[in-house]
Amino acid sequence: MRFLLDAEQREFARSLDGLLTSCDTPAAIRAWAAGDHAPGRALWARLAEAGVFALAVPERYGGFGPLPLDLSVAFAQVGRHAVPGPLVETVAAAALLDRLGDADAAGAHLPGIASGTTVASLCLTALGPYALDADAADTVLVVDGDTLRVGARPGPVQPSADPGRRLSRPSGGTVLAEGPAVAAAAAHAAGLAALATSAQSLGVGRALLARTVEYVKRRTQFGVPVGSFQAVKHRLADTLLALEFAEPLVHGAALALAAGSPDADRDVAAAKVTAGEAAYRAARTALQLHGAVGYTDELDLSLWIRKARPLRDAWGTPAACRARVLAA
């Protein structure tokens, strides 16, 4: 047993962090929110080049996956830098198409996903009526009961609380598959989506904590840095605590998914609720400790604050996850 990321995974995280630091992700989010997807697509291409989407695609379709743990490593960086776009939905679509057992369907979509030319969105109507960023996607998949449709059209954009997320109700499309295999593949895809969302939440939480720690060291009141006040320190200590103990749950869930463990669903649910709540608490703390300036959309911090809550609820609400943890 060696329950630690290996050197290669840590190097992968470092290189993604470096890559994304050199991109202006806040500008890409603001453009994305205004319907200009070009900067976001450029970011997408760079992530694809770094191999992020190939991690979800098997080798025979041009990827080197599926590797849930490496995907977790990548999505933590995606969250840390608040990258916009249906990244989770694209890797979940890959998982769905891979698991479906339809070689034609897989061959039609997976190579494009692996290389970054295909941006996909995925809507499981059992979880909610909206597809994320369908207006920016090359293909939209919808699972309704045990029917899978592809090529669904995005409906009018419904603004999300997070400007980096654009929701719409997909409609139409052609039926690609029907039956129990669809439901099973959709459940598998939902598990991977929940895992990737957990990792993304961790990254969002880490970014919020780091920015807030920097701020309270600089900001002075009553002649001293506000970070020297015990009430401030304790909130930040609790934020770190929650993130530190959520991370091994995410890694453990990734290993369970990779191994096809019978407990994978439970483990993913535990990771999802814990990472989602930790990031959301980090957002509340960041807002409180920044004070009024944190309540503005001018400060880039708002892009992370507004992301935390939707991620907490996407791909498995806290209540649904807690129920799954106790399901016998």
| 73 CA to centre of own chain | 11
Specify the length of the chain in residues.
Answer: 328
Among 94, 232, 279, 283, binds another protein (CB under 8 A): 232
Among 105, 249, 286, 287, binds another protein (CB under 8 A): 249
All residues at 6 or more sequence positions from 75 whose CB lies less than 8 Å from its CB, including other chains: 87, 88, 196, 197, 199, 200, 203
Contact 16, 43 (CB under 8 A): no
List, as one string, the DSSP characters of 297-313. Answer: SSSTHHHHHHHHHHHHH
Q: How far apart are the first and last CA of the chain?
A: 27
Amino acid at 260: G
- CB nearer to another protein: pick between 136 and 268: 268
Contact pattern from residue 189 through residue 228 relative to another protein, giving x for each residue in contact according to CB under 8 A and a dash for the rest: --------------------x---x--xx------xx-xx
17-56: contacts with another protein (CB under 8 A)? none
Among 14, 245, 288, 295, binds another protein (CB under 8 A): 245
CA distance 119 to 132: 11
The structure tokens listed for 144 are 């309704």
- CB nearer to another protein: pick between 65 and 227: 227
The structure tokens listed for 183 are 């439901």
Query: What letter does residue 3 receive in the DSSP assignment?
Result: -
Size of the site for another protein (CB under 8 A): 46
- CB nearer to another protein: pick between 175 and 319: 319
Among 140, 193, 270, 314, binds another protein (CB under 8 A): 270
Q: Candidates 75-83, 127-135, 199-207, 251-259 — which segment interacts with another protein by CB under 8 A? A: 251-259
Q: Which residues of this protein are in contact with another protein, per CB under 8 A?
A: 1-6, 9, 69, 209, 213, 216-217, 224-225, 227-230, 232-234, 236-238, 240-241, 244-246, 248-249, 251-252, 255, 267, 270, 273-274, 318-319, 321-323, 325-326, 328
